[in-house]
């Protein structure tokens, strides 16, 4: 393919080298004359192992052209890739001035083409906040060129390149994310990654825009968590490396997808207790550990999130009837200790709502003393709130809102989604 890359920064220059290695013809454009002079000499303006060789190869084979002139001519280009910078403003938002300037120039260049044939594919790889493509970029093109899908198509394809291993990451990515107007409309970016084996996610623009931000936030969270554990273990004169080696050896729960699906707040006998305990150790050791110290507050915020969601759902219903499908802290357990659902139920009652509870994991006539204590603590006259099953659709349809906390799929199979709030997942 004939590909034009706009922006010879880290992402643009690295991608140019990788595309040259794949046999494509690349035009690399950047307004900085120093960068262009460096590129013309066969060297990269940024250091990345192996990149100079790829650029020199492209120049020698007449596959690479470089220019600082943004007076774009796009007739002969199959794809335009935008890699200009989006630096941070003082308030943390992204500075989109370069994105706006380049988008206007590309739109004008496309508008000047009389016969386009198939739509020109414009791929944005710069970091963008969610809704930037929909709310800012597409309106620029539609104002200058006309409706998307006729003379041009726009995609967002975030990069997941690490400095010092970017070329390897390009050819062996953990995933390929493609934000599109319609899933599949770019044909996986017209075969750009046809030689690369990796999971491909065809999603809407906003999902693609936030995907990289979530990845990097998670990476930052991991580093911060590990460093806080390091400070804590050092303060306690415990071997940091022994502790971390034990932690990392658990590929079932610790280093896995477990607990990473957005859904219910945590509860039960272990997590709250141990987190409270480690927070007290942190405080007594006079260690600054803001990530660990914020966990319980974050969990409580999630409980409040669901309560607000429930209140909003019932805003226009007079004297609503509510049922919880599940009240213990997880499925296949009768443990009520620190159950977030019990806390939510208690708060709803205090707000004046009438609730009923169904949970076939819990026998209120033969409860343990700890369960009895928790029920009595959170629900006065708790016997009045529990109902026995089985519950059919007719019984459930008598309720205005079903709070779905456990996997009772068959019970809600024919219930309108408008009556259901899932407390165990966010979809």
SS3 string, 225-259, reads: HHHHHHHHHHHCCCCHHHHHHHHHHCCCCCCCCCC
The dihedrals phi and psi of 324, each to the nearest 5 degrees, come to: -95, 125
Half-sphere exposure of 210 (CA within 13 A, CB side): 6
Residue 18 annotated as catalytic: no
Q: What residue has token string 């709250």? A: 272
Distance CA 51, CA 12 (A): 12
The answer to whether residues 167 and 51 touch, using CB atoms and an 8 Å cutoff, is: yes
Structure tokens at 350: 């205090």
Furthest-apart CA pair in the chain: how many Å? 84
Distance CA 346, CA 377 (A): 9
Of 346, 364, 353, 367, nearest in space to 399 by CA: 353
Q: How far is CA 90 from the centre of its chain?
A: 23
Distance CA 106, CA 112 (A): 10
Active-site entry in 18, 83, 270, 394 = 270
Q: What residue has token string 């658990």? A: 250
C-alpha separations of 366 from 337, 361, 362, 372, 399 in Å: 16, 12, 9, 9, 27
Lay out the sheet containing 420-422: strands in order across.
Answer: 354-358, 321-325, 401-404, 420-422
Q: Is 322 helix (H, G, I), strand (E, B) or coil?
A: strand
Distance CA 212, CA 207 (A): 9
CB atoms within 10 A of CB 349: 16
Residues identified as active-site = 270
């Amino acid at each position: 393919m004939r590909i034009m890359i706009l922006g010879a920064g880290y992402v643009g220059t690295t991608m140019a080298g990788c595309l040259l290695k794949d046999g494509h013809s690349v035009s690399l454009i950047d307004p900085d004359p120093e960068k262009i002079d460096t590129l013309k000499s066969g060297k990269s303006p940024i250091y990345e192992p192996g990149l100079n060789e790829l650029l020199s190869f492209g120049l020698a084979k007449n596959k690479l052209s470089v220019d600082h002139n943004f007076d774009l001519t796009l007739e002969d280009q199959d794809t335009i890739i935008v890699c200009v910078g989006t630096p941070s403003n003082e308030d943390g938002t992204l500075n989109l001035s370069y994105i706006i300037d380049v988008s206007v120039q590309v739109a004008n260049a496309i508008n000047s083409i009389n016969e386009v044939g198939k739509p020109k594919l414009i791929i944005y790889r710069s970091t963008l906040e969610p809704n930037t493509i929909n709310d800012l970029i597409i309106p620029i093109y539609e104002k200058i060129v006309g409706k998307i899908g006729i003379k041009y198509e726009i995609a967002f394809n975030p990069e997941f390149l690490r400095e010092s291993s970017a070329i390897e990451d390009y050819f062996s990515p953990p995933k390929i994310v493609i934000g599109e107007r319609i899933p599949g409309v770019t044909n996986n970016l017209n075969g750009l990654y046809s030689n690369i084996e990796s999971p491909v996610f065809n999603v809407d623009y906003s999902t693609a825009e936030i995907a990289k931000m979530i990845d990097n936030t998670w990476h930052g969270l991991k580093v911060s968590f590990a460093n806080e554990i390091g400070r804590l273990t050092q303060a306690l004169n415990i071997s940091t490396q022994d502790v971390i080696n034990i932690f990392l050896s658990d590929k079932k729960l610790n280093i896995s997808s477990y607990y990473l699906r957005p859904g219910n707040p945590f509860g039960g006998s272990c997590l709250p207790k141990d987190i409270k305990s480690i927070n007290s150790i942190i405080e007594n050791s006079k260690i600054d550990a803001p990530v660990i110290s914020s966990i319980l507050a974050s969990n409580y915020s999630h409980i409040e999130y669901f309560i607000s969601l429930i209140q909003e759902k019932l805003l226009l219903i007079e004297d609503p009837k509510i049922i919880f499908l599940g009240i213990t802290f997880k499925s296949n357990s009768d443990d009520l200790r620190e159950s977030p659902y019990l806390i939510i139920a208690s708060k709803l009652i205090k707000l004046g709502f009438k609730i009923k509870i169904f949970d076939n994991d819990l026998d209120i006539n033969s409860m343990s003393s700890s369960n009895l204590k928790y029920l009595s603590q959170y629900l006065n006259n708790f016997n009045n709130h529990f109902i026995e099953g089985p519950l059919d659709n007719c019984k459930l349809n008598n309720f205005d809102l079903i709070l779905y906390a456990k996997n009772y799929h068959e019970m809600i199979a024919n219930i309108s989604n408008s009556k259901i709030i899932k407390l165990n997942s966010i979809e």
